[in-house]
Amino acid sequence: MGEYRVVIIDSDATWRRNIKAMLAKMGYWVIGEAEDGVSGLKLVRTRQPDLVIIEAFLPGMDGHEVARIIHEDKLAPVVLIGNSTQQNIIEKAKAARVFAFLMKQELEYNLIPAVELALMNYQEIVRLENQVKELKDTLETRKVVERAKGILMETMGISETEAFKRIQRQSMNKRISMRAVAEAIILAHNL
């Protein structure tokens, strides 16, 4: 479980206390509380929690809207809580990309499992997004190196293997990435 940091945004102080007690009992650390959406969002941005628990209906900025912004800005996973499971509420929760929607009356039994799953799934999503970014960077580097090899082959009349070795050698000699060498070759060729 670890000491995950949580922010609770709920208009009802009694519910905030109850949720805080449930979380503390399981080793979670509540680092901030807010009673409305605007101050809750500010709190999330400044405190950078590992998880946010938000009431669906908040004064000012609605809980769904706060959850949507938190998701879009990749600030933390969100567990949304409410008193109703009407279809439009569930649709709003889905649109906000929350990790769970729980009924307040059932929090005692469902909160900790939902929190643990939200944290685990969010960490996996972050890991996969980083992996995709790395793969895109690798692919882009290969494209740039291929283009630079083509330029060297054309202008110097050398083989593909020799062009690659020259880029690689320059990279090692100058202590810069092969991509940087390839970009310099392309830039020089375009001048």
Mean pLDDT for all residues in the chain: 94
Percent of the chain at pLDDT above 70? 99
Where exactly does CATH 3.40.50.2300 map onto the chain?
5-131
Percent of the chain at pLDDT above 90? 87
Superfamily of domain 5-131: Response regulator (3.40.50.2300)
pLDDT at 2: 62
Are the CB atoms for 54 and 97 separated by under 8 Å?
A: no
- Which amino acid appears at position 2 of this protein? G
CA distance 58 to 65: 10
| Exposure class string for 19-51: b at 16+ Cβ within 10 A, else e | bbebbeeeebebebbbbbbebbbebbeeeebbb
Residue for token pair 């070759």 = 185
| Exposure class string for 96-115: b at 16+ Cβ within 10 A, else e | bebbbbbebeebeeebbebb
Does residue 3 have a pLDDT over 60?
yes
Residues 47-68: tens digit of each pLDDT: 999 999 999 999 889 999 999 9
- Which amino acid appears at position 173 of this protein? N
Region 134-190: CATH code: 1.10.10.10
Residue 29 backbone dihedrals phi, psi, to 5 degrees: -115, 115
Where exactly does CATH 1.10.10.10 map onto the chain?
134-190
Does residue 79 have a pLDDT over 80?
yes
